[in-house]
Amino acid sequence: MAKIKIEKSTEDKILAAAKKIFISKGMFGARMQDIADEAGINKALLHYYFRSKEKLFEVIFIEAAQKLFPKINSIFESDMPLFEKIRNFCEEYLTVMMENPYLPSFVVNEINRDPQNFIKKIWNKQHFPKPQKFLEQIEREVKKKTIKKISPLDLLINLISLSIFPFVAKSMIQSVIGLDELQFRAVMEKRKKDIAEFIIASIKK
Amino acid sequence: MAKIKIEKSTEDKILAAAKKIFISKGMFGARMQDIADEAGINKALLHYYFRSKEKLFEVIFIEAAQKLFPKINSIFESDMPLFEKIRNFCEEYLTVMMENPYLPSFVVNEINRDPQNFIKKIWNKQHFPKPQKFLEQIEREVKKKTIKKISPLDLLINLISLSIFPFVAKSMIQSVIGLDELQFRAVMEKRKKDIAEFIIASIKK
DNA sequence: ATACAGTTTAACCAAATGGTTAACAAAGGA
DNA sequence: TCCTTTGTTAACCATTTGGTTAAACTGTAT
């Protein structure tokens, strides 16, 4: 059996290293030297491939934000009935979160650091979340009286809160409740279905 | 009409300035010079009153964490019936959040930065959240079949998620939905009651 | 006044940090 | 083989940053 050596290109090594360091320490906490060490290369190479810390950060941030947002849209804009949409959203979203548990706190945090910049960076990148259609769908269901009266915006915020927050507050929850990595995963795995039913139970007539 | 000059002590000026800077920029992003400028004093004075950046930060962080946690306990440990407890929690908690909208993202973020340190700092400070009694109460209600079957931990996580997340993601929500400061406040004000009813509707039999 | 403690400041320092440079290696192409 | 382009490095630089020091100022008790 041949020993397969996957020669990652330098650029990929840098991106992988930068991702790890930026996500765990944030834009300010990350040091270019840390990234270089993590990638096993010289610091000057970072500047050879990506001109500055900010440029490098932007690449990582946009990649992260795109992972966080686009799936939302495909569901938001589909033609599924409301309950199915909610179930789908929770299932898919929690799956992405579990594969990238540090993503939400990274993205949310960097948005807070500089909201203006965030809009500029993500706007036009076609991955900006567009919940309009989803909101209208809720509005319609309320008017048809097929679900209880609720503000569409509130329902959206609830849906997102229940999906994302546990990952943003992962360390806090683990500290307070006392869950190890495995237990946390198990709880989240179960929540894929539970959140959806929790929401549906609340609005079903 | 006499001009009332409220002479804040230097220490208080420092604390106020540090709070503002740390909360808006985080431990890494904050600069001692920024804090000194904000307080209108010399940088050396910061070190005269608080030995190091880390010490100063710790004071601010603990104060923030204490504002975020203690009210939870007084409600968690009270003898109220479950629904009343949920209503109370939402009302009180959102009120605190609206008075300190940047607190949750600050605290959550710094906990993520260094979870070990967080436990060491807050543990023993008697302000650590103790949800045990609340969890047992839910368990009892489920067994008595007065509410629908739900994992107590899940219900707790849902309650916290719905209360805190909108503030953690404030900038994001404002960007995506397009809410100004006033509109955001109005939505949150309304949520004080709505979240509680949303939860209760979901678990009521 | 004098002395003395607590407070405040300007000037300074060493370490860290993002970024640059110039020299060197590797890899083709002629 | 020589030349050119691309990739990589060690050494260096300017600036920033947390922290220190010694001198100056302020009020107050003697």
| pLDDT tens, position by position, B114-162 | 888 888 777 766 677 888 999 999 999 999 999 999 999 999 999 999 9
The per-residue pLDDT for B27 is: 96
Name the nucleotide nearest A51; use CA and C1': C19
Judging contacts by C-beta atoms under 8 Å, the chain A residues touching residue B108 are 105, 168-169, 172
Judging contacts by C-beta atoms under 8 Å, the chain A residues touching residue B164 are 165, 169
- In B172-201, the residues whose Cβ lies within 8 Å of chain A are 172-177, 187, 190-191, 194-195, 198-199, 201
The per-residue pLDDT for B3 is: 36
The per-residue pLDDT for B2 is: 37
| Of residues B108, B139, B86, the one with CA closest to residue B23 | B108
The per-residue pLDDT for A7 is: 63
Contact A165 B170 (CB under 8 A): no
- A176 CA: distance to closest CA in chain B (Å): 7
Ranges in chain A, pLDDT < 50: 1-5
Residue B1, pLDDT > 50, answer no
d(CA A165, CA A112): 15
Spatial distance from the CA of B186 to the C1' of C4 (Å): 58
In terms of C-beta distances under 8 Å and separation of at least 24 residues, what long-range contacts does B147-153 make, across chains too?
B147/B82, B147/B203, B147/B204, B147/B205, B148/A201, B148/B202, B148/B203, B148/B204, B148/B205, B150/A194, B150/A198, B150/B203, B151/A190, B151/A194, B153/A177, B153/A187
Tell me the three state secondary structure of residue A110.
helix
Q: Residue A112's CB: how many other CB atoms inside 10 A?
A: 20
Amino acid type, B24: S
- B12 CA: distance to closest CA in chain A (Å): 25
Among B106-115, B137-146, B173-182, which range has the highest average pLDDT? B137-146
Which residues on neighbouring strands pair with residue B147, listed in sequence order?
Answer: B204
Indicate which of A108, A149, A164 best probes the interface with B, i.e. most B CBs within 10 Å of its own CB: A108
- In B82-141, the residues whose Cβ lies within 8 Å of chain A are 105, 108-109, 111-113, 115, 118-119, 128-129, 131
Residue B61 CA, chain-centre distance (Å), reads 11
- A60 CA: distance to closest CA in chain B (Å): 18
Count of alpha carbons within 13 Å of B167, Cβ hemisphere only?
29
- Report the residue count for chain A: 205
- Which residues are within 8 A (CB) of B13 and not within 5 positions of it... i.e. 6 or more apart? B39, B40, B41
Q: Contact at 8 Å (CB) between A61 and A110?
A: yes
Over chain A, what is the mean pLDDT?
A: 91
SS (H, E, C) A141-200: HHHCCCECCCCHHHHHHHHHHHHHHHHHCHHHHHHHHHCCHHHHHHHHHHHHHHHHHHHH
The per-residue pLDDT for B5 is: 43
d(CA B21, CA B12): 14
With b for 16 or more beta-carbon neighbours within 10 A and e for fewer, the A139-148 pattern comes to: eebbeeeebe
Name the nucleotide nearest A55; use CA and C1': C18
Confidence of residue B17 (pLDDT cuts 50, 70, 90): very high
The per-residue pLDDT for B122 is: 76
Which positions on chain C have an atom < 7 Å from some protein CB? Answer: 7-11, 16-22
Going by the DSSP 8-state scheme, the letter that residue A126 receives in this structure is T
Nearest C-alpha in A relative to B31: A28
Name the nucleotide nearest A34; use CA and C1': C17
The per-residue pLDDT for A95 is: 95
Taken in order of first residue, the domains within chain A and their CATH numbers are: 8-61 (1.10.10.60), 69-203 (1.10.357.10)
Q: Could you please report the per-residue DSSP string of A33-84?
A: HHHHHHHTS-HHHHHHHSSSHHHHHHHHHHHHHHHHSHHHHHHHTS---HHH
d(CA B92, CA B88): 6
B47 touches strand C (CB under 7 A): no
Indicate which of A23, A94, A133, A165 best probes the interface with B, i.e. most B CBs within 10 Å of its own CB: A165
Tell me the three state secondary structure of residue A101.
coil
Which residues on neighbouring strands pair with residue B204, listed in sequence order?
Answer: B147
**Pick from A80-84, B41-45, B47-51, B75-79: least confident:** B75-79
Spatial distance from the CA of A18 to the C1' of C18 (Å): 15
- In B27-46, the residues whose Cβ lies within 8 Å of chain A are 28-29
Judging contacts by C-beta atoms under 8 Å, the chain B residues touching residue A202 are 198-199, 201-202
CA distances from B121 to A15, A72, B73, B85, B196 (A): 34, 38, 18, 29, 32
